[in-house]
Structure 1
Amino acid sequence: MTHNHANYQGRLDFIQNLLREQFNIEGAKIVPIQYDPQSPFKYNNFVYRISLPSPLSAAHKDGPRQPGTVAMPEGAKEFIIRLANPDAEGMNPHTRVENEVAIISLAAAALSGFEPHVVPSVYGWGSAAPPSLQGWILQELMPGAPVDETFNSMPLEEKNVILAQMAKFLKALQGFQLPDSIKEHGGVTFDDAGRIVSTAMTSVGKGPWPSYENYFRDRLEQALERADSNPYINGWHANGVRNRLEAFVESGILAQFKSLESKHDKTIVHADFTPNNLLYAASTQRITALIDYDFACILHPSYEFLRSFSGAGDAKLHGFPSPLPENTEDGVKWDVAKAWEDELEKLNVKRPRTMKGIEKVADVDAVLRSILPWRVTNSDILRLQPKEAILKCRNEHEAQLIKLLDHLGF
C-alpha cells in the first residue's frame, strides 16, 4: 500500500464527520478526483467531489462566517473539498490553508470582472497548523474540464483563444491593488480582525520578506543548509563549489538586483498557472475556472514566469527568432510560446521582455534551482532511481553550478 492510500478510509470518515458536525449535511457521496492509489509521489492535497442526496434548502444554516468564505448557496448539490496532505514534501502546515483561502479571496476580487466568475467560492476551512491533524477547504465545484486534457491536440487557432483569456487573467492579477495590510513579500494569512496580512510562504516555510532580493537571499541560505544534509550533494563542498556559492550569497546578490527597476513591485502570483489548473468548456471555448492556489503567494510579477511558464527562456527575454524553429516531441513548442508572448504583448502584460534587469534575477533563480535539484533531493523520486542515475544528475548540476558561477564572476 502506498503512503497516499494508507489513510484512505480515514479521510472519507473525516469528511463525513466534518459535513455532519459543521454543515449539518448527512449522506453525502464522496468521490476522489484525479487520484491514483498506486502513485509513488506524495500528493500535496487529496481532492474529493461531494454530491448531496438533495439540494440545499433556504433553511440550511452552516454556522458563522470565517474570513475568506461566503454562505453556501441555496440549491447547491455538489462541492469540492480539499484535504491538505500532512506528509506533503516541503509544504509548511502552519499557514498553508490560510494562505490558500486568503489568496483565493484576493484572486476573486482581482478577477471579479470576468463573467461568469472564474475563482471558486470558499464555504469553510480548517487550519493544518498543529495541533490540527487535518487541514481542509470546502469550496465551489467549478464547471469545465482541465485544459491540459485536450490542449496539445487543439489546432493553434483554438489554443490562441485560450492563451488570450489566460493573458487577460494575468493582466487582471497584476493590476489588482493589494490591501495596505499586505506589507511584505511571501505568504498571506488572516489577522484577528479578518484582514489579509503577510506571513510565511507555504512552499518555503520562511518569510515574509521586505523585498524580492531578501526572498532570494533567504532561499539561497536555506538551500545551502538543506544541501548539507543530502548524502549525494554533501553541501557542494567538493571542487570548491560551496565556497563560491557562499561568496555569491554574501556579496553577489545585491548586484544582481541593482538593475531591476521594478524591484519593489509585488502582486498576486498563482505560481502554478498551468493548463491542468485551468478548466475549459469546449462548447463555448471559454476558460471556466482558475483553480488550485496551493503555491500562490505575493511576490514580484516575474515570479509567475519563473515558476509557471517554462520553455523558450532566451526568446522570452530577448525576442523570438524568425522564422521560428521547428517544434520537437519533448522540446519547446515554439508556435505556442510565440502565440503566448503575442497575447501578453497585446494587453501590455508585465513579462520578462518588459522587466529591465530581469535576466540577472533569472540567473539567481537558476542558482537556487541547481543547489537543490529535484531528482537528487525529493524523497519520492530518489526511491525510483538507481544510484548511478542519481549521481549522474548530481554531477550534471555541479557542472551547471560551476558554469553559472563562472558567468556571475564567482
Structure 2
Amino acid sequence: MTVASSPDDYEDFIKNLLLKEYGRETLFIDPIRHHNARVYGITISEAGPNSPGPRAQPGVVPLPSDTTKLVIRFSDPASILNEDVRVQNEVAVMTLARQALKPLDESLVPLVYAWSPFSEGKGWTLMEFKQGVPLGDKFPGLDADGKRAVLQQIAQIFKRIQSYELPGSIKTYGGLKFAEDGTIVGGKTPIAGGGPCGTLTELYAEYFKTQMVFADKCDIVKGWKDSDLRTRLDKFGAERLKDLVSQVDARPTLVHGDFDGNNILFDEATNKITALLDYDFGHIGSQADEYFYSFPSIHGLLIPPFIPDPDEEHLRECLLHGFSSEDAERKSESHDWATAFVRDEEFGKAGVERPVHIKGIDQLSSVFWFIQNISPPMFFLERWRAKATPERIAMIMGMTRDSLEKNLEHWGL
C-alpha cells in the first residue's frame, strides 16, 4: 500500500488492519495529534472465538482478548527522519526503556502489539492505550507541592534510563534494530546520519558530515559558500571536532530523545505519572546527550552558548556550574526559576548524572548545537516553509550565521 496523506485513507487503513490481523471491528477512531507522527486513539470490539493469533515479530506482546482501546502511530515522511529505520528503532528503544524502568514501573512504557516498517507501505506501531492527560499544559497550574511531586517522579524515571546497563549485544552508538534472532543490536538513528559508530566522536563526526551535505542541498544556506564560513566549517570538521567531543568520558547510554511534558501522561487527581511516550528520537548516545534533547519545559535543556537572552545565558551557567538558593527566587516572564531549582534538586536526590558532574559537557553541548545550526531542520520542512515569510527566513539565516561564526571564533577558527 502506498503512503497516503488523506485522514480518510489512514482511517480505512486502521479498520482493515485490525479486521485482517485481529478479527476486530473498529468502533471509533480519534485523531490525537499530528506532529512528527500521526497518532490515533482507537476503540475496537472484543475478540471473537476464532480471532487470528499474534504477529511473530520482535518487541511485541499478544493483544489481550478483552482489550478494546488502542493507539496507533504512523510515521510521517514529511518529518525528514530516516523512515527506513524509524519504526524498528522506536520499538527497540521502547523495549530497552521498559527493561530500564522495570525496578520502578515498567508499565510506564506502552506495550507494543504489532509494527510495520515504512518499506512495507506505511510505517506504523500499534500499542497499548495509556490512561492520563498530557503533563505539558497542566504542569504550570500545579501548586508547589504538586510540581515537586511530579519532578520527583521525572527524576526517578530519568535516573533509571540514564543509568541502565545496556545488553551486551549493543556495542555501538547510534540507533537500534532487531537482529534475525530478535536480539537488539546497533543500527542507524532516525535522525539522519548517525551510526552505528564505535565511539561518540565517530557519531558526532557522522552528524557533522550529514549536516554539511544537507547545507549543500539547502536553497537557503547554499552550503554557506558565500563567504569564508564554508572554509572555516570544513576546518572545524578536520581539526577541532574530535578533540572537543572526546573531552567527555562517554559511556554508551540509552537516550529517550524527547523527554518532556507533552510526552508524559499523568493522573490529575493524584499527580502520578502514568506513561512516558514517543520514542521517535531514541538512540544510544552518551550520559550527556539527553540534556540536548529533553526537559525544555522544566528548564533542564542545556541550550547553546551565545544566545542573546540573559535568562537563557544564566540557565546555561546554572546547569553547568550549579544552582544557588538565590536562583530559586529569580523572577522572569520566560523562565520558572523555582521549577528549574527544584528539578535540579530532585535530579540530585535521585542520583541523576547532572551536567555539573559530566566533564566536557560544556564543549559537547556547544558542538551539538553548532552541528544542528549548519543546516537548520526547519529549512527542509514543507509546512514551515509554507508559512515562513522572506523576512523571517532572513532573520533566522542571520541568527544562524552569527551563532556559527561566534562558535568558530571561540574555537580559534
Alignment partner for residue 90 of structure 1, among 80, 89, 93?
Answer: 80
Quick check: 1:190–1:197 contact (8 Å CA) kept in 2? yes
Does the Cα contact within 8 Å between 1:116 and 1:288 map onto a contact in 2?
Answer: no
Find the counterpart in structure 2 of residue 39 from structure 1. none
1:58–1:120: structure 2 CA closer, same or farther, 3 Å change rule?
farther
Aligned partner (choices 23, 44, 50) of residue 42 of structure 2: 50
SS in 2 for 1:192: coil
What is aligned with 2:68?
A: 77
Superposition map of 1:190-205 within 5 A: 190-205=178-193
User: What's the offset of the Cα at 1:113?
Assistant: 2.2
Is 1:278–1:291's contact at 8 Å kept on the other side of the alignment? yes
Matches of 1:215 and 1:75, distance apart in 2 = 44
Counterpart for residue 409 of structure 2: 406
- SS of the counterpart of 1:268? strand
2:269 and 2:136 map into 1 onto residues whose CA distance is 16
What is the alpha-carbon distance in structure 2 between the residues aligned to residue 388 and residue 194 of structure 1? 51
Return the alpha-carbon distance in structure 2 between the equivalents of residues 71 and 118 of structure 1: 18
d(CA) in 2 for partners of 1:202 and 1:154?
A: 35
Q: Which residue of 2 aligns with 1:285?
A: 271
Q: CA deviation at 1:149?
A: 2.5
Distance 1:185 1:320, change over 3 A: same
- 1:119 matched to 2:114? The reply is no
Query: Which one-letter code corresponds to 2:389 in the other structure?
Result: P
Gaps of 5+ in 1: 36-42
Cα deviation for residue 322 of structure 1 reads 4.4
Q: Which residue of 2 aligns with 1:38?
A: none
* Contact 2:192/2:210 (<8 A) preserved: no
In 2, distance between residues paired with 1:309 and 1:68? 27
User: Counterparts of 2:111 and 2:183 in 1: how far apart (Å)?
Assistant: 18
Is structure 2 residue 332 aligned with structure 1 residue 340? no
Query: In the superposition, relative to structure 1, how do residues 97 and 26 fare at CA in structure 2: closer, same or farther (>3 Å)?
Result: same
SS at match of 1:28: strand
SS of alignment partner, residue 30 of structure 2: strand
- What secondary structure is seen at the aligned counterpart in 1 of 2:281? coil
Residue in 2 aligned with 1:34? 33
Work out the CA distance in 2 between the residues paired with 1:91 and 1:150.
29
Structure 1 counterpart of 2:14? 15
Letter in 2 for 1:128: F
User: Are the aligned partners of 2:118 and 2:124 in contact in 1 as well (CA < 8 Å)?
Assistant: yes
Q: Deviations over 1:52-73 (max 9, x none)?
A: 23x3468644334320011112
- Structure 2: gaps spanning 5 or more residues: 300-314
Give 1:69's aligned amino acid: V
Aligned-residue sequence identity (percent) comes to: 31
* CA contact 2:75–2:122 (8 Å) conserved in 1: yes
CA contact (8 A) 2:4 2:10 kept: no
Q: Give 1:127's aligned amino acid.
A: P
Structure 1 segment 205-224 matched on structure 2, within 5 A: 205-224=193-212
Report if aligned partners of 2:218, 2:375 keep a CA contact under 8 Å in 1: no
- In the TM superposition, residue 333 of structure 1 has moved relative to its aligned partner by 2.1
- Cα distance in 2 for partners of 1:397, 1:291 equals 31
Matched length = 393
Q: Deviation digits for residues 340-361 of structure 1, max 9, x if unmatched?
A: 1111111221121110111111
1:24–1:62 contact (8 Å) kept in structure 2: no
Give the equivalent residue in structure 2 for 1:268: 254
- The answer on whether the counterparts of 2:255 and 2:290 sit within 8 Å (CA) in structure 1 is yes
Q: Aligned in 2, Cα 1:296/1:115: closer, same or farther, shift over 3 Å?
A: closer
Is the alpha carbon distance of 1:333 and 1:373 closer, same or farther for their aligned partners in structure 2, counting shifts above 3 Å? farther
| Number of the residue aligned with 2:311 | none
User: What do residues 138-182 of structure 1 show as CA deviations (whole Å, max 9, x unaligned)?
Assistant: 111011100013111112221111111011011111222211111
Q: Specify the alignment match of 1:254 in structure 2.
A: 242
Partner Cα separation in structure 2 for residue 257 and residue 45 of structure 1: 31
Residue aligning to 1:295: 281
Over 3 Å counting, the alpha-carbon distance change for 1:408 and 1:377 in structure 2 is farther
Report the CA distance between 1:289 and its aligned residue. Answer: 0.4
Give the structure-2-normalised TM-score: 0.90
CA displacement at 1:6 relative to structure 2: 4.1
Q: Contact 1:57 / 1:75 at 8 angstroms: preserved in 2?
A: no
- Write the distance in 2 (CA, Å) between the matches of 1:80 and 1:138: 6
Task: Give the counterpart of 1:101 among 79, 82, 91.
Answer: 91
Aligned to 1:49, what secondary structure does the other structure show? strand
Query: Is residue 389 of structure 2 the alignment partner of residue 397 of structure 1?
Result: no
Distance 2:269 2:106 in 1: 15
- 2:49 pairs with 1:63: no
Q: 1:354 aligns with which of 326, 336, 357?
A: 357
8 Å CA contact retained: 1:375, 1:390:
no
> Which letter maps to 2:157?
F
Does the residue aligned with 2:273 lie in a helix, a strand or coil? Answer: strand
Give me the whole-angstrom Cα distance separating, in 2, the residues matched to 1:224 and 1:343.
Answer: 39
Structure 1 residues 52 and 223: CA distance shift in structure 2, 3 A: same
SS at match of 1:88: helix
Match of 1:387 in 2: 390
The structure that is helix-richer by fraction is: 2
1:135 maps to which of 93, 109, 123: 123
Distance 1:259 1:272 in 2: 25
Quote the Cα distance in structure 2 between the aligned partners of 1:353 and 1:32. 41
How big is the shift at 1:205?
Answer: 4.6
